[in-house]
Homo-oligomer: A and B are copies of this chain.
Amino acid sequence: MDVCTQSALHPEALREARAALEGAPLGRLAELFKVLGDPTRSGILLALGSTVPDGGGEGEGSSGARLCVCDLAELFGVSSAAISHHLRLLKAHRLVRSRREGKMVFYALDDEHVAQLFSQGFEHVKEGGR
């Protein structure tokens, strides 16, 4: 351990910080962000968030698209196994919900916060936040 041997350098600030960390569900929060921290998964959420205007016939409100595993696999150019894997993760974190319909399984967003989360992220990225 290369940690400083001299002393706790700024005890007051440290105490404050500890207090802030104490109550926070840090693990869960990081886990959520980790789930979002993959381009394919963010892409899935973004795609599912895209509103389909003149519903072709599968009409289901206008709160977001509904896509099957096949669609997503083609959309991102990966195997459906990979997509399935990602979807399982997203589902475990209540970010998407699934609904079987015949041979296919359709996925849709399951959380109203996700869109806001993304827009905040965009804000940061747009402002040159590398």
Contact = CB atoms under 8 A, between A and B. Distances in A.
Interface of A: 1-4, 8-10, 12-14, 16-21, 24-39, 41-43, 46-53, 56, 58, 65-68, 70-71, 73-75, 78-81, 92-95, 104, 111, 113-114, 116-118, 120-130
> Could you say how many copies of this chain the assembly holds?
2
B29 A33 contact: no
Contacts of A27: 39
Query: A interface, by DSSP: helix, strand, loop or mixed?
Result: helix
Given A20-B47, A24-B46, A32-B124, 13 more contacts: A3-B80, A10-B71, A14-B75, A16-B51, A17-B75, A25-B122, A27-B39, A28-B130, A30-B38, A32-B125, A34-B37, A113-B124, A113-B127
